[in-house]
Chains A and B, each alone.
Chain A
Amino acid sequence: MNAPFVGQPVPRAEDVRFLTGRARYVDDIRPEGALHAVIARSPYGHARLLGVNKASIEGLPGIVGVIAADDIAHLPAEIPIRLAPLEGFQRFLQRPLASDRVRFVGEAVALIVATSRHAAEDALEQLEVEYEPLPAVVTYDAAREGAELLFPEAGTNVATRYSASMGDADAAFARADLVIERHMTAHRHTALPLETRGLIAHEEADGILRCWGATKVTQWNRRALAVMLGRPEHSMDLIEVDVGGGFGAKGEFYPEDFLIPFAALRFGAPVKWIEDRREHLLTTNHSREMEATVAIAFARDGTMLGMRAKVSADMGAYVRTNGGVVPAKAAQFLPGPYRMKDVALDVEALLTNKTPVGTLRGPGRYEAHFFRERLIDLAAEELGLDPAEIRRRNLLRPEDMPWSIGHLVPYEPPSAVDSSDVPAAFDAVTDAIGYEELRWEVRKPQPDGRLHGIGLACFVESSGAGPSETARVELREDGGLRVISGVSTQGQGHQTVLSQIAADAFDGGVPPSEIELLNGTASLIEGGFGTYHSRAVVVGGSAIHLAARSLRAKLLRVAAARLQLRAEDLVLAEGHLRREGSVQKLAALAEVRGWMREAGETPDATETFKPDGRTYTCGAHAAHVAVDTETGQVEVLRYIASEDVGRAINPLMVHGQAIGAAVQGIGAVFLDELVYDENGQLLTGSLADYLVATSSCFPNIESITLENSPSTLNPLGAKGAGEGGVVACAAAIANAIADALRPLGVEINHLPLGPDRLLRLIPEKPAP
């Protein structure tokens, strides 16, 4: 494979260790003398915590100690907000251990440390904790009414309320020929990475407190931990090892991210905690539970004139590091990729006695696109328009770019879609699925007796959040490159994709296989912000591009002086320096590195990339489904997702991201669901009850990667590619099912759509 590497399906260099069992995840680390922690958790959704009887497990085999709220009362250990600091949120932050009240099943009340995991779990069964149960708040209405308060001192369960608008929605509705309004809901589910969370903390002999198992935003988390522990930031490090998936949930600052380091300091030994799957379902961020009343004003020809919406998100029991992103982004993305300028939104975030929420791949978008795209189909039906046609009449066009999406998010500046060809992305899926023919085919009686339907959905999606990212590129002694980046990795394959970028920025003079990547760990580089909001390649990759260009320029300058040639006449190729137009190698890069040293230049370059705004991708999904009206079971016969990612650095990996995201998103429509009872008990606490897609569920998933609209906001032209596959799944599937069931007069306004729920919507035929 030769340069340019960007754009080529380079196989992943990191795969070999994953394929041979030599990867190193946090649970694979086994420090000498490590102690093992388990956490005692509330069995109640809402209760007064009357006491933790530490003495109840004293002297049990292997027990080293117990930590309860009183042990950390002297520390400012409230977990801060990282993103979306909406007004009012500060009243509802979580402390790592509950002190006088527990607010969700699974909330940590004590930490038990023992010489083995088995001993710690044995003691956990014996630990006496006294509670006085309180009524639980589990519905939107109960939260709003506030008869029972999670935080009596706040006087409300409403964590925040705000309104946002652009244009004049009232005027738009006043001239509408048709208004479609529905109350709709999305359901609570979670990312469920296959590896649970885990952490090992140890203050080593050099006085540095090291925590292995950190990820996502290690730099921010280190700052937070420093404040909470009252220790200087440079006296600790958060180290990223291999991470078994994140999808937004893993790597946020959780109670354990304080408790395990705290325990390591208290007991003066390495302390290891690995979340078990039950704990994971109880405590790792949930997401997506939302209700909305959305109205869209249409003209008779299908033109979308304006939108009004009220969005309410169930935040669970506390405001976590990024929980506010969920309702705020749902609201922001409700208008979608359509030429609609008049929008009025009311947003509220409600506290309930459930696990707190945070972001999940495509946060808010998955819900918002479902709400809007359903209404568009309902309008099409009312107006006698084809669902594809009504969308085409309203989609943003390339000439609309940049398209202002106003100031719909209170904590962010106004934003605009940077570049986009939505009609092309839409046509790509309708052509691929053969929409024009299929829409008639599905109406015919099917030999299998099922009802078929086709569903479409369009989306716009942001990526590449700021503020900036820094990278250092070093020329190694052996002539290879070492790239140091502040982005983190949860399994995406950054080693490969970022190496491709560095290789090309270095004129292909060093192949990706000779480029190593160091990233994720907090102390590696200043000015790193981690990986979220599909920013690693867009922002992190751009910083690497700049740093590699910078090192290249420096190297050529030194070499030119040394060789008494012009820098423009020199080229880098195959690990060597060559003269333009000549095959003769002037020097190996390893040698040039020596020249740089001799010339008093360091063989490295550091650059910061600060994007001038976010990049926006767009795309469309199309679904063809068959519904068994006797069982409520749905088969997804074909599913196609397109996304215009600007520039696909590695098409193989972009495709993998899209397919994986789509299966997550489609799975969530039918399977993933976190169910609570009226007492706030989680009923889906194991993988026997919380169901995710398996290999036999959705075999026919395709993706189309488009590169029609390179971003103008970064040197790569890149946009995020990890979330477009998920954001329109509920919308497209729900539209397809609704299309199939239209002869039965069924409307789909609520998620999820498992067989039981679907069958309830299908009128029962009288027995013969």
Chain B
Amino acid sequence: MTPTESLSITLSVNGATVAREVPARLSLADFLREELRLTGTHLGCEHGVCGACTVLLDGEPVRACLMLAVQARGHSVTTVEGLTPAGGGLTPLQAAFQRHHAVQCGFCTPGMLMTATALLAGNPSPSAEQVRDALSGNICRCTGYVQIVEAVMDAAAGAEA
């Protein structure tokens, strides 16, 4: 096996199959943003701390700045654009974010949604403490998190009802 600086990859992004030739060093986040123009995945630090680039890899939240695009080969990636069908409304979680004023500048929002989506998929009725723990890798500078936690709890309660 010879290492190369450029590779062909095929993966699924938001349910669609995507094939590209990419440089080895291209991060998954840059691939999504620059190659696929899915700019809902944000870059806040590019060293794995802020969580703004969180996407789902096979349903699990990951930092897209800490993965190479080539590592997503054969996997399924979901970004914030993939949470709702094109042109079609909000998910219950997104709607709860709006209701609770869990969004201010919006820059952390996609990462928060992806992390919370994964949380609720695995734990449909989390405690507030579990929500806070799950979101603790996603920095928000605007909201103080209170309304974000309320929104996630509300979405969970709504789904249960």
Quick check: do A and B touch in the complex, using CB within 8 A? yes
A655 at the interface (CB under 8 A from B): yes
Q: Is B98 in contact with A687, judged by CB distance below 8 angstroms?
A: no
What is the CA–CA distance of A11 and B138 in the complex, to the nearest angstrom? 23
Binary contact track B86-105/A, C-beta < 8 Å → 1, others 0 = 00001000100111010111
Q: Is A687 in contact with B45, judged by CB distance below 8 angstroms?
A: yes
Q: Is A491 in contact with B135, judged by CB distance below 8 angstroms?
A: no
Q: Is B136 in contact with A245, judged by CB distance below 8 angstroms?
A: no
A16 contacts which of B40, B90, B135 (Cβ < 8 Å)? B90
Q: Is A30 in contact with B37, judged by CB distance below 8 angstroms?
A: yes
In angstroms, how far is the closest chain A Cβ from the Cβ of B100?
8
Q: Is B132 in contact with A277, judged by CB distance below 8 angstroms?
A: no
The segment from B56-64, B67-75, B139-147 found at the interface with A is: B139-147
Most chain A beta carbons < 10 A, residue from B42, B79, B90, B141: B141
Query: Which residues of chain B from 16 to 70 have any CB-CB distance to chain A below 8 Å in the complex?
Result: 23, 25, 33-34, 37-47, 49-50, 52
Q: Is B144 in contact with A698, judged by CB distance below 8 angstroms?
A: yes
What is the CA–CA distance of A663 and B144 in the complex, to the nearest angstrom? 5
A664 contacts which of B25, B38, B42, B141 (Cβ < 8 Å)? B141
Q: Is A11 in contact with B81, judged by CB distance below 8 angstroms?
A: no
Q: Is A19 in contact with B90, judged by CB distance below 8 angstroms?
A: yes
In angstroms, how far is the closest chain A Cβ from the Cβ of B65?
10
Interface of A is mostly: loop
Q: Is A30 in contact with B34, judged by CB distance below 8 angstroms?
A: yes
A195 contacts which of B33, B44, B144 (Cβ < 8 Å)? B44
B123 at the interface (CB under 8 A from A): no
A: number of interface residues (CB 8 Å): 58
Q: Which chain B residues border A493 with CB–CB below 8 Å?
A: 104
B106 at the interface (CB under 8 A from A): yes
Binary contact track A1-24/B, C-beta < 8 Å → 1, others 0 = 000000001011011111111111
In angstroms, how far is the closest chain B Cβ from the Cβ of A764?
31
Q: Which chain B residues border A27 with CB–CB below 8 Å?
A: 33, 39, 42-43
B84 at the interface (CB under 8 A from A): yes
Query: Which residues of chain A from 222 to 253 have any CB-CB distance to chain B below 8 Å in the complex?
Result: 242-245, 247
Q: Which chain A residues border B25 with CB–CB below 8 Å?
A: 118
B101 contacts which of A196, A247, A656 (Cβ < 8 Å)? A656
Q: Which chain A residues border B101 with CB–CB below 8 Å?
A: 9, 11-12, 652-653, 655-656
B141 contacts which of A277, A659, A692 (Cβ < 8 Å)? A692
B120 at the interface (CB under 8 A from A): no
In angstroms, how far is the closest chain B Cβ from the Cβ of A489?
9
Q: Which chain B residues border A698 with CB–CB below 8 Å?
A: 144
Q: Is B142 in contact with A11, judged by CB distance below 8 angstroms?
A: no
Q: Which chain B residues border A191 with CB–CB below 8 Å?
A: 141
What is the CA–CA distance of A661 and B145 in the complex, to the nearest angstrom? 11
Q: Which chain A residues border B106 with CB–CB below 8 Å?
A: 14-15, 17-19, 23, 242, 244, 491
When C-beta atoms are compared, the residue in chain B nearest to A490 turns out to be: B105
When C-beta atoms are compared, the residue in chain A nearest to B112 turns out to be: A695
Q: Is A194 in contact with B147, judged by CB distance below 8 angstroms?
A: no
Query: Which residues of chain A from 303 to 319 have any CB-CB distance to chain B below 8 Å in the complex?
Result: none
Known pairs A16-B90, A692-B141, A696-B133; A22 contacts B40 (CB<8 A): yes
Q: Is B105 in contact with A193, judged by CB distance below 8 angstroms?
A: yes
Q: Is B98 in contact with A195, judged by CB distance below 8 angstroms?
A: no
Q: Which chain A residues border B146 with CB–CB below 8 Å?
A: 659, 663, 699, 701
B: number of interface residues (CB 8 Å): 58
When C-beta atoms are compared, the residue in chain B nearest to A11 turns out to be: B98
Q: Is B46 in contact with A21, judged by CB distance below 8 angstroms?
A: no
When C-beta atoms are compared, the residue in chain A nearest to B41 turns out to be: A21
A701 contacts which of B39, B40, B47, B144 (Cβ < 8 Å)? B144
Q: Is B145 in contact with A663, judged by CB distance below 8 angstroms?
A: yes
A694 contacts which of B97, B107, B137, B142 (Cβ < 8 Å)? B137
Q: Is B132 in contact with A192, judged by CB distance below 8 angstroms?
A: no
Q: Is A695 in contact with B94, judged by CB distance below 8 angstroms?
A: no
B113 contacts which of A19, A195, A490 (Cβ < 8 Å)? A19
Q: Is A664 in contact with B105, judged by CB distance below 8 angstroms?
A: no
Q: Is B42 in contact with A25, judged by CB distance below 8 angstroms?
A: yes
B9 at the interface (CB under 8 A from A): no
What is the CA–CA distance of A14 and B101 in the complex, to the nearest angstrom? 11
A28 at the interface (CB under 8 A from B): yes
B83 at the interface (CB under 8 A from A): yes
When C-beta atoms are compared, the residue in chain B nearest to A244 turns out to be: B107
A514 at the interface (CB under 8 A from B): no
Q: Which chain A residues border B80 with CB–CB below 8 Å?
A: 19-21
Q: Is B44 in contact with A277, judged by CB distance below 8 angstroms?
A: yes
Q: Which chain B residues border A21 with CB–CB below 8 Å?
A: 38-41, 79-81, 110
Q: Which chain A residues border B33 with CB–CB below 8 Å?
A: 27-28
Known pairs A11-B101, A19-B113, A21-B80; A491 contacts B45 (CB<8 A): no
Known pairs A30-B34, A244-B105, A656-B147; A194 contacts B39 (CB<8 A): no
A662 at the interface (CB under 8 A from B): yes
Known pairs A20-B90, A28-B39; A192 contacts B141 (CB<8 A): yes
Q: Is B84 in contact with A194, judged by CB distance below 8 angstroms?
A: no
Q: Is A659 in contact with B107, judged by CB distance below 8 angstroms?
A: no
B155 at the interface (CB under 8 A from A): no
Q: Which chain A residues border B108 with CB–CB below 8 Å?
A: 194
B125 at the interface (CB under 8 A from A): no
What is the CA–CA distance of A245 and B103 in the complex, to the nearest angstrom? 11
Q: Which chain B residues border A491 with CB–CB below 8 Å?
A: 104-107, 142
B148 at the interface (CB under 8 A from A): yes
In angstroms, how far is the closest chain B Cβ from the Cβ of A127?
20
Binary contact track A389-433/B, C-beta < 8 Å → 1, others 0 = 000000000000000000000000000000000000000000000
Q: Is B128 in contact with A699, judged by CB distance below 8 angstroms?
A: yes
Binary contact track A593-636/B, C-beta < 8 Å → 1, others 0 = 00000000000000000000000000000000000000000000
Known pairs A244-B106, A656-B147, A696-B133; A194 contacts B140 (CB<8 A): yes
Q: Which chain B residues border A193 with CB–CB below 8 Å?
A: 105, 107, 141
Q: Is B52 in contact with A659, judged by CB distance below 8 angstroms?
A: no
In angstroms, how far is the closest chain A Cβ from the Cβ of B92?
12
When C-beta atoms are compared, the residue in chain B nearest to A659 turns out to be: B144
What is the CA–CA distance of A11 and B143 in the complex, to the nearest angstrom? 15
Q: Which chain B residues border A446 with CB–CB below 8 Å?
A: none
What is the CA–CA distance of A193 and B108 in the complex, to the nearest angstrom? 10
Q: Is B49 in contact with A20, judged by CB distance below 8 angstroms?
A: no
Query: Which residues of chain A from 475 to 495 have any CB-CB distance to chain B below 8 Å in the complex?
Result: 490-493
Q: Which chain B residues border A255 with CB–CB below 8 Å?
A: none
A135 at the interface (CB under 8 A from B): no
When C-beta atoms are compared, the residue in chain B nearest to A660 turns out to be: B144
A660 contacts which of B45, B104, B131, B133 (Cβ < 8 Å)? B104
Q: Is A20 in contact with B40, judged by CB distance below 8 angstroms?
A: yes
What is the CA–CA distance of A195 and B34 in the complex, to the nearest angstrom? 17
B149 at the interface (CB under 8 A from A): yes
What is the CA–CA distance of A17 and B110 in the complex, to the nearest angstrom? 11
A659 contacts which of B81, B83, B137, B143 (Cβ < 8 Å)? B143
Known pairs A20-B83, A22-B40, A692-B141; A656 contacts B104 (CB<8 A): yes
What is the CA–CA distance of A565 and B26 in the complex, to the nearest angstrom? 69
28 contacts between A and B (CB under 8 A): A9-B101, A11-B101, A14-B106, A15-B98, A19-B90, A21-B38, A21-B110, A25-B39, A25-B42, A27-B33, A28-B33, A194-B141, A195-B107, A244-B106, A245-B107, A277-B44, A491-B105, A492-B104, A656-B147, A659-B144, A659-B146, A659-B147, A660-B143, A661-B144, A663-B145, A663-B146, A687-B139, A695-B145
Top-8 shortest CB links A-B = A21-B40, A491-B105, A18-B106, A244-B107, A663-B144, A687-B49, A21-B80, A28-B39
Beyond A28-B33, A242-B106, A694-B138: 19 further Cβ-contacts under 8 Å? A9-B101, A11-B101, A18-B109, A19-B97, A19-B109, A22-B81, A194-B50, A194-B105, A194-B140, A195-B42, A244-B42, A276-B46, A277-B45, A277-B50, A652-B101, A655-B101, A687-B47, A694-B135, A694-B137
